[in-house]
Amino acid sequence: MNTTLDAQLWAAAPLILMAVGIVIVMLVIAGTRNHRAIAQLTTLGFVLTCIVSLMPERATEVTPLLLIDDYARWVMALIAAAGAVTTALIYGYLADHDGYREEMYLLLLLAAFGAMVLAASCHAASLLLGLETLSIALFGMIAYPLRYARPLEAAIKYLILSAAATATLLLGFAFIYAMTGRLQFGPLGAAVAALSGADRAIAHAGLALIWVGFAFKLSLAPFHLWTADVYEGAPAPVAGFLAAVSKGAVAVALLRWLDAAALAQTPALAHMLSVLAVASIAIGNLGALQQNNVKRLLAYSSIAHFGYLLVPFLVGGSVAREAVLFYVAAYTVMTLGSFGAVAALSGSQARDDADHLYDYRGLFWRRPLVTSVFVPMLLAQAGVPLTVGFLAKFYVLAAAVEQHAWMLALAVIVGSAVGLYYYLRLAIVQFLPKPGGMQREARLSEAAVATSVALVSLVVALIGAGIWPQPLAAAVSRALAGSG
Amino acid sequence: MDMTTAASAWLLPLLIAIPFVGGVAAWYAERLSLTWPRWIGLLSMAAICALALWIWAHADVPGVVPAHGTPSWLIEFRAEWIPRWGISLHLGLDGLSLLMILLTGVLGVLSVACSWREIQQYVGFFHLNLLWNLAGVIGVFLALDLFLFFVFWEAMLVPMYFLIALWGHSSQGGRSRVYAATKFFIFTQAAGLLMLVAILALVWLHHQNTGQWSFDYDQLLYTPLTQVQEYLLMLAFFIGFAVKLPVFPLHPWLPDAHSQAPTAGSVDLAGVLLKTGAYGLLRFVLPLFPNASQDFAPAAMLLAIAGIVYGAKLALVQTDIKRLVAYTSVSHMGFVLLGIYAGNTLALQGAVVLMLAHGLATGALFILCGELYERLHTRELARMGGLAQRAPHYATALMFFALASLGLPGLGNFIGEFLVLAGSFPVAPWITAAAASGLVLAAVYALYLVQRALHGPPADAHAIEDLTARETAMMAALMLALLALGLFPQPVLDLVRAPLEQIGQWYAFGVPVR
């Protein structure tokens, strides 16, 4: 694909826009600190990027590193939308923050930029660049409330484990490079298939190492140990962004990489990954059952969700690819909404977020809006119809049925049934009376309005796509039509 | 009236929309007054009854099965929904669904009426949940697209969960209402997901055959299946519906859910929700998998007998009046299951009549239990007694519905049970004979209930308020309905004859190839 510089620049417009936005935000912060202006600027940047990403454009290879096709563009739009929502949530969360507030937005933009590069990457180098930009920005975001121990602890845990995961990933790519001499994804599958004997074994070891690296990032069991601690320590809106965008972008990049390095060639690896999927579903759901801390509960539930998401990766087929994208979109909405509800009740000035089950007692009568967002989000995660969460599960099961993966389908069903218990527990507790706490707590402020707008738009997306999923389904199949 | 015109097709979405919109209106009306939500609920469900009766009066019900053997509907509605998967908003109404919707409407009115005094907390939200649940149930009775059906099937669970968990009773020292609600939800949802996999597999097989994605009942009916495929799919569907019915041994959620649920929740559960299971078997399992169902029939009938005897036996040892009534439901639903798998028109008609009669009689018994609880604040049979003297009108009503429940001739339940047994006898004489023993047990538990609650020395000397005007009106309406069903069942039998005969033929000979 030899395209003119002109066409390449147009194709890379979303990324360029983000980069320019980051520089502008940095310069403005250097000049004058104004929380509201920075937040508005950030939102504007995300909205513009989202619009530009949705404009139709031919698939273009921008340098050998990035492939900007419908698929990348669609994911970029999703990331930008998630970024805009996160900005609003952070604005509410940091309203009473004691310290500098503006750098958070810079870090958020950087993280989103990294995620977008990840989505467009078709080369090991760009994959790692995107991943590291994303992760390093996230360390800063997690540790943002500097005065408290828990965020710091979480950030250090994430830093070390994430670095270990990246190192594993790098080693895997190095093995493959050593055997095939290739870093681009395109011809990778054929090159590995052409190997034989010891070379082939080393390449397969490389594939396995890459999977381990991805499993860390996606917090699949048994590489999930960091998840609960990090989510618990991170500020709620950051935890939401980490869970939704960071993991979602990795899953999307993985799907692109998987096209090249087809699993079908390595049955042993596929078998091992099935075990991983089932283990994630089991550990995620069983772990969540025992939690009284809402953020830890959501962390375990996200482990289970990525267990479900691994199922279409494993079974393959055209429905499966759609299932992955659909699930990522649905999961982004559900996760941002759930953590957004936690964020709406919390603030960075307090030592801990509102993350104890008891904090949620009687919430429906105290903060009806938060409950009317949170409960649908939880029901969606449980897979109740008329929410996009049900359709996501529907896609996963459809993919499993298409490829006759009955055991995996059964694991999804059993996992969902167990999952109901803790989602419902968290949902119903918000309606139960709290002694002395049944008065409406109304705080009308600009920050509260920003949070409410974010939450309401999420719940509208959740129910809207649940009742009328055709636009989303069509967009997903269009995004995949071009690639592969 | 020509029922195929486009205008009347919109009646079907309207039937679902009325309770749905009514629920939202009731929620908002709470701000005006606590009485408004109740009236809105009452009027919405009365409108459902009125619409159903209007359709019954104006539709020309076919007396015989159409010769071509394809499914035929009195009213049909179709609109595109998710073309990516060939999913459409396909609704259809025949005599069977019409009767079920009428039952839903009647019990809906009663559910609202019986909570008039019981529910004093979060009144608007209560009616929202109640009406949305009923909207989901009506959707289940109308949906002809398997995806849409599944959506309604699951959607009706969430409001029911809230009804039990928020307005239920926690028995002293026993399980909490949240426990019961969660148990109910997990049982039905897990079985439901199993059914979803079966639906997907069926759709996928259809896709293999025709290259088209479709969830449409009319299309999937003709999917050729191998013997193994058909049997496995049938089993998954059967489990999905059997949990709801409930079939022994998938019933453990039922006594818990009933004993903790508020009165309206129990009426709704016993009267309507259990019927969705039977409806699913009739509408989907028998027609979609006729051969496998034939093979499975002996096992299903044995399960039916187990349910009849087990439910009745357990009803006999209960000390909690609501649990007692709940176990009788297990027993009665055994008869319905027996009728369905006997599969001839007579037995199927019996099953449908029994579903209606059981809905009315058990609904009434649950309302009476609720009224008793409002007065005595207990459901323990040991702390009752002597009600016949203390509240004679109440005692009369309880006696009447207990007799209906045991199958006294002249009341609806007798017609249903008699037709089921008469229809099953030529198919499976020994099983039918064993099932008939359930009638004896029914007499024992009904009389046990009457004796413990109404006779003997009173537990304490407090005066008890007898039935109020509202309660008397509810009871009188139900008595009249049961008497009508018992003395003059012919209109009901005529209404469901054609659809049931068709289902019976498909079950016996397979669905004819188009």
Q: Where are the beta strands (DSSP E) in B333-449?
A: none
Which among B165, B166, B193 has CB closest to A416?
B193
The backbone torsions φ and ψ at residue A454, rounded to the nearest 5 degrees and listed phi first, read -60, -45
Mean pLDDT taken over chain B? 88
pLDDT of residue A60: 84
Report the pLDDT averaged over residues A148-160: 91
**B327 closest CA partner among B262, B251, B431, B411:** B251
CA angle B455, B456, B461 (to 5 degrees): 100
Residue B172's pLDDT band, with cuts at 50, 70 and 90, is low
**Complex ipTM above 0.85?**
yes
Whether B1 maps to a domain, the answer reads: no
Whether residue B190 and residue A417 make contact (CB cut-off 8 A), yes or no, is yes
Whether residue A420 and residue B182 make contact (CB cut-off 8 A), yes or no, is yes
**A426 closest CA partner among A380, A361, A368, A334:** A361
Chain segment A411-437, per-residue pLDDT in tens:
999 999 899 889 998 998 888 887 776
Residue A62: strand pairing partners: A66
More confident residue, B306 or A64: B306
**At residue B248, does pLDDT exceed 90?**
no
How many C-beta atoms surround the C-beta of residue B441 within 10 A?
Answer: 19
Report the pLDDT averaged over residues B153-177: 82
Tell me the C-alpha to C-alpha distance, in Å, between residue B200 and each of A119, A371, A401, B230. Answer: 31, 33, 7, 13
Report the pLDDT averaged over residues B218-222: 87
- pTM score: 0.91
Chain segment B474-492, per-residue pLDDT in tens:
999 999 999 999 999 999 9
Q: Identify the DSSP state of A242.
A: I
pLDDT of residue A325: 92
Cis preceding linkage at B287, omega within 30: no
A140-149, A277-286, A350-359, B192-201 — which is least confidently predicted?
A: A350-359
Report the pLDDT averaged over residues A389-406: 90
Chain segment A442-466, per-residue pLDDT in tens:
677 888 888 999 999 999 999 999 9
A 419-448 → B contacts, CB under 8 A: 420-421, 424-425, 428, 431-432
Whether residue B151 and residue A386 make contact (CB cut-off 8 A), yes or no, is yes
Q: State which residues form the domain around B385.
A: 11-509
Domain tally, chain B: 1
Q: Identify the DSSP state of A352.
A: S
Chain A residue numbers touching B165 (CB-CB < 8 A)? 428, 431
Residue B75: strand pairing partners: B93
Whether residue B204 and residue A401 make contact (CB cut-off 8 A), yes or no, is yes
Tell me the C-alpha to C-alpha distance, in Å, between residue A440 and each of A364, B214, B407. Answer: 9, 48, 53
Please give the residue of chain A at the shortest CA–CA distance from B206: A402
More confident residue, A109 or B173: A109
pLDDT of residue A262: 62
Q: Which residues contact A316 (CB under 8 A, 6 or more apart)?
A: A262, A263, A264, A403
Whether residue A416 and residue B200 make contact (CB cut-off 8 A), yes or no, is no
Question: A interface mutation test: which of B200, B205, B253, B260 has the most A CBs within 10 A?
Answer: B200
Q: Which residues contact B424 (CB under 8 A, 6 or more apart)?
A: B301, B338, B339, B342, B347, B431, B432, B435
Measure the N-to-C terminal CA separation of chain B; round to a whole number of Å.
30
CB A460 within 8 A of CB A377: no
Which among A401, A424, A477 has CB closest to B182?
A424
Report the pLDDT averaged over residues B85-91: 91
**At residue B1, does pLDDT exceed 50?**
no
Q: Where are the domains of chain A?
A: 5-482
Whether B514 maps to a domain, the answer reads: no
Chain B residue numbers touching A468 (CB-CB < 8 A)? 81
Q: Which residues contact A277 (CB under 8 A, 6 or more apart)?
A: A220, A307, A308, A310, A311, A314, A408, A411
Report the pLDDT averaged over residues B368-384: 84
Tell me the C-alpha to C-alpha distance, in Å, between residue B435 and each of B243, B315, B347. Answer: 21, 16, 13
Please give the residue of chain B at the shortest CA–CA distance from A431: B166
CB B298 within 8 A of CB B255: no
A2-11, B301-310, B327-336 — which is least confidently predicted?
A: A2-11
- CA dihedral sign of residues A426, A430, A431, A432: positive
Chain segment B31-67, per-residue pLDDT in tens:
888 889 999 999 999 999 999 999 988 887 776 666 6
HSE on the CB side for B167, CA within 13 Å? 26
pLDDT of residue B7: 61
Beta pairing, strands A60-62 & A66-68: antiparallel
The 3-class secondary structure across B233-289, one letter per residue, is HHHHHHHHHHHHCCCCCCCCHHHHHHHHCCHHHHHHHHHHHHHHHHHHHHHHHHHHC
Chain segment B260-299, per-residue pLDDT in tens:
888 889 999 888 999 999 999 999 999 999 999 999 999 9
Residue B388's pLDDT band, with cuts at 50, 70 and 90, is confident
Report the pLDDT averaged over residues A275-293: 92
**At residue B10, does pLDDT exceed 70?**
yes
Cis preceding linkage at B159, omega within 30: no
CB A373 within 8 A of CB A363: no
CA angle B290, B296, B299 (to 5 degrees): 150
Whether B266 maps to a domain, the answer reads: yes
pLDDT of residue A182: 84
Q: Which residues contact B202 (CB under 8 A, 6 or more apart)?
A: B146, B220, B223, B233, B288
Whether residue B151 and residue A385 make contact (CB cut-off 8 A), yes or no, is yes
Find where tokens 């007054």 sit.
B33
Measure the N-to-C terminal CA separation of chain A; round to a whole number of Å.
16
In angstroms, what separates the C-alpha of A413 from chain B's closest C-alpha? 6
The residues of B whose Cβ lies within 8 A of any Cβ of A are 81-85, 150-152, 154-155, 157-158, 161-162, 165-166, 178, 181-182, 185-186, 189-190, 193-194, 196-197, 200-201, 204
Which among A390, A397, A424 has CB closest to B185?
A424
Residue B175's pLDDT band, with cuts at 50, 70 and 90, is low
Find where tokens 């933009």 sit.
A109
Residue A260's pLDDT band, with cuts at 50, 70 and 90, is low
pLDDT of residue B5: 56
The backbone torsions φ and ψ at residue B299, rounded to the nearest 5 degrees and listed phi first, read -65, -45
pLDDT of residue A265: 65
Whether B4 maps to a domain, the answer reads: no
pLDDT of residue B153: 92
Helices within B59-156 (DSSP H only): 95-114, 123-142, 146-155
HSE on the CB side for B466, CA within 13 Å? 12
DSSP string, B145-203: BHHHHHHHHHHTHHHHHHHHHHH--PPTTS--HHHHHHHHHHHHHHHHHHHHHHHHHHH
Chain B residue numbers touching A375 (CB-CB < 8 A)? none
Residue B145: strand pairing partners: B216
pLDDT of residue B380: 83
pLDDT of residue A315: 85
Report the pLDDT averaged over residues B10-35: 90
Say whether residue A164 is in contact with chain B using an 8 A CB cutoff: no
CB B440 within 8 A of CB B309: no
pLDDT of residue B418: 93
Q: Which residues contact A291 (CB under 8 A, 6 or more apart)?
A: A228, A297, A300, A422
Whether residue B186 and residue A402 make contact (CB cut-off 8 A), yes or no, is no
Report the pLDDT averaged over residues B238-263: 89
